Structure 1
Amino acid sequence: MKIIYLHHSGFVVELDKNTLVFDAITYIQPQYLKKGRRKYFFASHAHTDHFSQIIYNYGTDFDTRYILSDDITRRGGKKTTFIKPYEHLHYDDIKCGPVEIDTFGSTDQGVSFLVQAEGKVIFHAGDLNWWDWSPEARPEIDRAAEERDFKAEIAKIKEFLETNHRKINVAFVPVDSRLGRSATKAAEYFVDELHPQILAPMHCWDEYSVITDLQQACYGKDVKILTMSKRNEIIYAD
């Protein structure tokens, strides 16, 4: 498995036979979209820092599929499936094997994705985050409700994983520097409750120093926190 950081919340996950692309809003270098592989493009919601029409530029290959949150403007033809929270998709390909997709909710807009393919379980949170804004920055926010809603969604994911005897191999979770001291709260809680093997921080707005804060907060926990320092870099390869 190879993970390429694109920008913000955008990542490419290259498995042996399938390529998964999440929330891409920038140009993707051709070497990360190899021909002859099944390619799945995911977009968690319509916000411009998560969805761009640019992903349709990569749809000429017959092996391309788009799985988009249903709040996104509908286009894309037969290759596109629009999906709501708590739905399931199953793709089965003779050459590349089955891909199972389950969606969960968000604490902002759209969906989060749990993808099972080639023996791996991959979670992309979209804007599912513990939006613990300071009262000074966002006085209109109900901080207690934000905490409650985030933890409730994590509980649903946890129940699904336990029921289906699954463990998350890689999770992409927001670590938003605009939240100040609360930037790492969601990722810390995610690690404590769902125990992913690998966590890739995202939604950092190119403020990569917040990743160090998360690594320090998770020191001693059984999780590998990935790091990145620039766009379009390989951040993990096994």
Structure 2
Amino acid sequence: MELIYLGHSGMLVHGEKASFLMDYYLDQGEGRGLCHGVMDEEGLSLPGRLYVLISHSHGDHLNPVVFGYENCRKDVVYVVAREAQDKVPKTLRSPVVFLEKGEAYRDELAFIRAYGSTDLGVSFYVEAEGKRFFHAGDLNDWHWNQEVPPEEAQGYTRAYREELAALSRDVSTLDLAMFPVDGRLGPDAANGAVAFLSAIPTRVFAPMHFGEDYRTQDGLVARGPFGGTRVIRWTRRGEQVSF
């Protein structure tokens, strides 16, 4: 399967029978097309079914443009955190599945389970075409240890570790993980990612949620290596990797 970075937390995973568009919101780029990180006619013409996953209602994870995709193709399935239910147009004709933590959706092409978050909504675990991948949404160790008292920061970290433990009890390995590395957290921005990689053996790890500050990824890379994990260091929207 192929992974294309669409900016911030927007990711597109596509294979022979299905594509998975996750938390897409940056619909403008230096140009059009997937090579510029933009989901337009090219992306909408990929073969197989299109699953649109929305982890929560924050504006940097959800662009209403995605609800117009059903006008371009008929085989769209929306899988949306129940927390974001009010963002979905009542007039939508395509199938819509609302998931809370612990709930799952299965059809003949994919299995999708919602896990917890340390912010709004959920995270998503997906099985398709023999691959297992995970999109964290806003699940992360949001410790804010440069801004809050130590006791408060430790509480945020404990909450994250609890969600990570629940995930790792069910998921023993991953082919791909897409996970926040957010520079606003300061020198320890990669803490959540490092803990994730310690808990779940992962073949390919894709940082996200760093906005335009691509250097934030260097803090994670510097704390490696991480066993057999390939850590992607994105340099622009539209980059593509195989996994």
TM-score, scaled to structure 1: 0.90
> Which one is further off, 192-201 or 221-230?
221-230
2:159 paired with 1:159: no
The match for 1:189 is 195
| Alignment root-mean-square deviation, CA | 1.7
Structure-1 separation of matches of 2:232 and 2:130: 21
2:50 aligned residue (25, 29, 39): 39
Return the match for 1:81 from 89, 93, 97: 97
Change (3 A) 1:184 1:35: closer
CA distance in 2, matches of 1:218, 1:29: 36
- Aligned partners of 2:40 and 2:234: how far apart in 1? 17
| Structure 1 unaligned blocks of 5 or more | 93-97
Q: Which amino acid aligns with 2:242?
A: A
Distance in 2, matches of 1:65 and 1:78, equals: 6
- AA in 2 matched with 1:53: P
Alpha-carbon distance between aligned partners in 2 of 1:52 and 1:180, rounded to the nearest angstrom: 28
Structure 2 CA distance, aligned partners of 1:35 and 1:5?
Answer: 16
Cα–Cα, structure 1 residues 59 and 214, in superposed 2: closer, same or farther, change >3 Å?
same
Deviates more, 1:199-208 or 1:66-75: 66-75
Distance verdict in 2 for CA 1:47–1:219, change over 3 Å: same
Distance 2:143 2:59 in 1: 22
Residue identity in the other structure for 1:82: F
Q: What is the number of residues matched between the two proteins?
A: 227
1:177 to 176, 183, 188: 183
1:98-123 CA deviation, whole Å, 9 max, x = no partner?
Answer: 20011101001100000000100010
Letter in 2 for 1:151: R
Aligned residue number for residue 212 of structure 2: 206
**More deviation in 141-150 or 82-91?**
141-150
Matched AA of 1:59: E
Amino acid at match of 2:218: T
Within 1, Cα distance between the matches of 2:76 and 2:25?
Answer: 17
Q: CA deviation at 1:59?
A: 1.7
Please name the residue that 1:9 is paired with. Answer: 9
CA distance in structure 1 between the partners assigned to 2:226 and 2:238 by the alignment? 29
The secondary structure found in structure 2 opposite 1:82 is strand
Determine the structure 1 residue equivalent to 2:153: 143
Identity %: 30
Inter-partner Cα distance in structure 2 for 1:140 and 1:45: 28
Distance 1:44 1:141 in 2: 28
Q: What is the distance in 2 between the residues matched to 1:149 and 1:109?
A: 13
